[in-house]
Amino acid sequence: MPRRLSTASATDYVRTAINRRQGRSMVMAAGGIAASEHPLASQAGASVLAHGGNAVDAAIAVNAAMGVVAPMMNGIGGDLFAIVHDVASGNIHGINASGYAPEGLSISHLMAQGAVSMPQTGINAVTVPGAVAGWAKLSARYGRLSLDAVLAPAIALAEGGFPVPEITALEWQGSEGFLQQDAEAARVYLPGGTAPEAGQLFRNPDLAASYRALAAHGRDAFYKGELAERILECSARHGGTLSAEDLAEYEPQWVTPLSTTYRDWTVYELPPNGQGFAALMMLNLLEREPMGSYGHNSPEAFHALIEAKKLAYADMARYLCDPDFHRIPLDVLLAKSYARDRASEIDPKRASAVAEPGRLPTRGGDTTYLSVVDRDGNMVSLIQSNFANFGSGLVPRGAGFALQSRGGLFTLDATHPNALAPRKRPLHTIIPGFMVGGDVKVAFGIMGGWNQSQAHVQFISNVVDHGMNIQAALEAARFTKLTFNGCDVTMESRVPVRVRRQLAAMGHEIDLQGAFSSLVGGGQSVMRNYATGVNYGASDPRKDGAAIPEPFVL
């Protein structure tokens, strides 16, 4: 929570209000709040809350609506991860609904076709989509409403249409040439032969029909029924290896979130095959630095964050994979003692050009993030993705959604833990976050490929070290380093010139972007103070979205 100005004068309070460091206020409500990167999707979740749904019901409603209004980012052709706080039990649970490679897809199969690296688009980049199975598992365990009630807002949006918002329109237009490579993708997503402009009404009746099939028949419609047939026909038509068994036998996994302490907070991330453990490793490194004393946006704070990122990501790149195929030494990587040893490698005065994985003891995209809190205090942190814009670029005939391209994150290096193998899940960049401090719990996430762990840590540090509320923490200027070595770092122009000059003098090579750059990702957050029963919501201005409270039902 923000630091309280308990000893401040009335003048100090006024000065803080006038000269605050955020562009908009948090949303506050005694009822629930849904936060997503599109107001209509948030509205769908808030409506479900108002009609008796809980946070899980609302999260599925938001996610389904996002598949309508931001189809380049996400949809039922993609994967899903979520963290759920169940207030009745007090427990925090995770779900991994990421899909595996087809049984018939292997390194030898691709090499026989002349591949020298993993395809990034097309049918051989497609893994089994896990989102629908994730919805079903979440709904069965926690949901209050039927799937047809939860999907109703998204069906109405797909049929009635929506005006395409500004940022979404630009991303859509950037994919126009890509979509033209597949006749069905062009038919669905390029009405009149071009990408829709901002404010243009877009409808997707095929997706509405797909959602109706899910509402009537549940997950079986996708993995065994009508939609499965459409997906398999698409795969066969493009020479893919996806089989009926690959779809029918897929199951998401309930997982126990990983955690670490950071100052007085506990931070949760999901275990691999996602990158969340890199965020926890960064926090362990930063806990050894006086981040609060450095001050926000100071060269010392940025330097510590950037150098901790390099070390944590070096380990992540070495070990991240499907843990069902290779053991990942998380017990060592997340140990405070390991962070102590690794922290000694950070030069406080100079940027490092190369970061190597640590020595362990010897022993036997594109994405959408959403968060929801309901009036009872249940919370959901959910992230869902096609990987790249419009995923593989392939749309099953009559289905209204693109198939993901998550398989592109495999490697064809057979010696690497993340090497392609049948029924293996690729490493994933998408991660939901959750943090607990006393009576306060926060669900949060920030999108953007390899940006995500480092963006999570900047958000956490803003809250914990610099006393920001969740809206200010999302809005604050960020950096991102999307490469794993070198001194290059991308930074928003709101970072003061003086600070950038000092960082450059330390050896950081700054790629300066605009004031609110999509390269540093966009996020959402909800928070609850369980002592007061008040909920809070925040939405990143780097996206088109909003945090919307549950409306009154009169």
**Residue 518 DSSP class:** G
Q: How many CB atoms lie within 10 A of CB 189?
A: 24
Q: How do 509-513 and 488-492 pair as beta strands?
A: parallel
Q: What are the φ/ψ torsions at residue 433 (nearest 5 degrees)?
A: -120, 160
CA nearest 316: which of 340, 281, 364? 281
Q: Write down how long the chain is.
A: 554
What's the sign of the alpha-carbon dihedral 83, 89, 91, 97?
negative
What's the sign of the alpha-carbon dihedral 217, 219, 222, 224?
negative
Residue 274 DSSP SS3: strand
Amino acid at 534: V
CA nearest 545: which of 526, 528, 527, 529? 526
Q: How many CB atoms lie within 10 A of CB 102?
A: 24
Q: Which helix (H) or strand (E) holds 109?
A: helix 107-112
Largest distance between two CA atoms of the chain = 74
Contact between 431 and 453 under an 8 Å Cβ cutoff? The reply is yes
**Residue 516 DSSP class:** T
- β-partners of residue 488 are 509
The Cα-based distances of 215 to 21, 147, 429, 523 in angstroms read 44, 5, 30, 29
CA nearest 154: which of 58, 71, 56, 65? 65
Quick one: tokens of 364?
């036997």
CA nearest 216: which of 163, 270, 148? 148
Q: Which helix (H) or strand (E) holds 131?
A: helix 131-142
Could you identify the residue written with the tokens 């939901």?
A: 432
β strands within 429-505, DSSP E:
433-437, 440-446, 479-480, 488-492
What is the C-alpha separation between 486 and 525, in angstroms, rounded? 32
Would you call 260 a catalytic residue per the annotation?
Answer: no
Contact between 487 and 505 under an 8 Å Cβ cutoff? The reply is no
Q: How many CB atoms lie within 10 A of CB 173?
A: 15
Catalytic position from the list 121, 127, 168, 367: 367
The residues annotated with a catalytic role in the active site are: 367
